[in-house]
């Protein structure tokens, strides 16, 4: 598969093509926000339903504000404090944003990615780039160019940007009635956003919520090619094997156990890589151990992904 630089990537995007772009979270499948052909190609390439909104990537706060009709002080503080970085902010959109991007909703998800190469590309293109993760819909997200190539072969040009540093998708947050609602957990936790707001003189409630206005809200998402089962700590395969096989209607002979690293930062970086690696090494089921340590808030993003990727939880 051809690797392209930002100059060639820009040319392809303006022609209505899609390009895989590296970010600190995962690799994205980008289309220019002002190209209807490019936006439609995102959905057809990913086999993604049109009811799932896209995130628009920009390189500056000013560009983000030009795409909105309402930008609050809370948006301003969080963007200035967290961008470039793994925080997506939802705001009321204006007429510049295609309904293809927002699934017909009146809000748009915006973020500034923390990756030098993609920021360079974004600085040369008007508006921004809409980009969900560069994988088939509902499957494991890519954290390297090799993952994208295995997913799409020659169908997608890729900007090579090395492995993703964070490893899971951005935190997605919106502002509703003066409070911040986190719709998708990620690197930034409610505690972290609360501290940022307080430091800037805003005593604002930050809560976790469910909402159709945010990407990644489906029950099943991020799923690996082989079944993933969430199991308790100190799980013994031989004791529970028959129960799992009966529940899933399959038999297994090569289980892989993922005992997660001690820190959520390392676990995030490894998550999607491990899902792919276990399959490639010939395992036929992944057993993800959940420790009591994982109930802390900083693990929410990882367990949100695992809960959606699972076939079963014991």
Question: Which CATH number covers residue 270?
Answer: 3.40.50
Q: What is the pLDDT of residue 1?
A: 57
198 and 78: one domain? yes
- How far apart CA 107 and CA 173 sit, in angstroms, is 12
186 and 305: one domain? no
83 and 121: one domain? yes
Domain-embedded: residue 221: no
- How far apart CA 244 and CA 240 sit, in angstroms, is 6
Q: What is the pLDDT of residue 311?
A: 95
297 and 266: one domain? yes
| Among 147, 176, 208, residue at a domain's last position | 208
- The strand pairing partners of 21, in sequence order, are 28
88 and 196: one domain? yes
Residues of the chain predicted below pLDDT 70: 1, 211-220
Phi, psi of 269 (to 5 degrees): -65, -30
Where b means 16+ CB within 10 Å and e means fewer, 131-152 reads bbbbbeebbbbbbbbebbbebb
Query: Range of 253's domain?
Result: 228-313
64 and 155: one domain? yes
- For residue 185, what is the domain's CATH number? 3.90.870.10
Domain-embedded: residue 282: yes
Domain-embedded: residue 180: yes
27 and 74: one domain? yes
Q: What is the pLDDT of residue 222?
A: 87
Query: Do the beta carbons of residue 167 and residue 25 sit within 8 Å?
Result: yes
Domain-embedded: residue 248: yes
The total of structural domains in the chain comes to: 2
Write out pLDDT tens, residues 177-211. Answer: 999 999 999 999 999 999 999 999 999 999 999 86
139 and 24: one domain? yes
Write out pLDDT tens, residues 259-311. Answer: 988 899 999 999 999 999 999 999 999 999 999 889 899 999 999 999 999 99
67 and 140: one domain? yes
- How far apart CA 53 and CA 71 sit, in angstroms, is 19
- pTM for the predicted model, two decimal places: 0.95
Q: What is the pLDDT of residue 213?
A: 55
240 and 141: one domain? no
Domain-embedded: residue 185: yes
132 and 181: one domain? yes
Pair of tokens at residue 86: 């793994």
Q: What is the pLDDT of residue 254?
A: 97
Q: What is the pLDDT of residue 220?
A: 65
183 and 239: one domain? no
């Amino acid at each position: 598969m051809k690797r392209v630089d930002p100059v060639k990537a820009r040319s392809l995007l303006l022609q209505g093509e899609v390009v895989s772009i590296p970010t600190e979270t995962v690799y994205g499948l980008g289309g220019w926000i002002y190209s209807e052909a490019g936006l439609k190609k995102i959905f057809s390439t990913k086999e993604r339903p049109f009811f799932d909104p896209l995130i628009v990537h920009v390189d500056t706060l000013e560009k983000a504000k030009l795409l909105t009709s309402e930008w609050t002080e809370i948006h301003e503080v969080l963007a200035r404090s967290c961008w470039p970085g793994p925080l997506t902010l939802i705001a009321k959109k204006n007429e510049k944003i295609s309904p293809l991007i927002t699934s017909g909703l009146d809000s748009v998800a915006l973020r500034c990615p923390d990756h030098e190469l993609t920021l360079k590309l974004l600085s040369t293109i008007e508006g921004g780039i809409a980009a969900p993760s560069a994988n088939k819909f509902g499957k494991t997200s890519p954290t390297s160019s090799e993952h994208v190539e295995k997913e799409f072969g020659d169908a997608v040009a890729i900007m090579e940007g090395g492995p993703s540093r964070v490893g899971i998708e951005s935190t997605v947050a919106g502002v509703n009635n003066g409070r911040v609602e986190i719709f998708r957990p990620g690197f930034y936790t409610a505690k972290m956003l609360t501290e940022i707001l307080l430091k800037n003189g805003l005593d604002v409630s930050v809560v976790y919520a469910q909402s159709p206005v945010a990407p990644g809200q489906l029950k099943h998402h991020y799923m690996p090619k082989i079944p993933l089962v969430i199991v308790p700590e100190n799980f013994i395969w031989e004791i529970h094997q028959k129960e799992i096989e009966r529940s899933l209607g399959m038999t297994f002979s090569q289980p892989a156990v993922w005992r997660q690293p001690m820190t959520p930062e390392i676990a995030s970086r490894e998550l999607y890589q491990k899902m792919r690696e276990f399959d490639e090494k010939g395992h036929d089921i992944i057993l993800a151990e959940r420790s009591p340590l994982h109930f802390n808030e900083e693990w929410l993003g990882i367990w949100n992904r695992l809960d959606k990727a699972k076939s079963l939880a014991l």
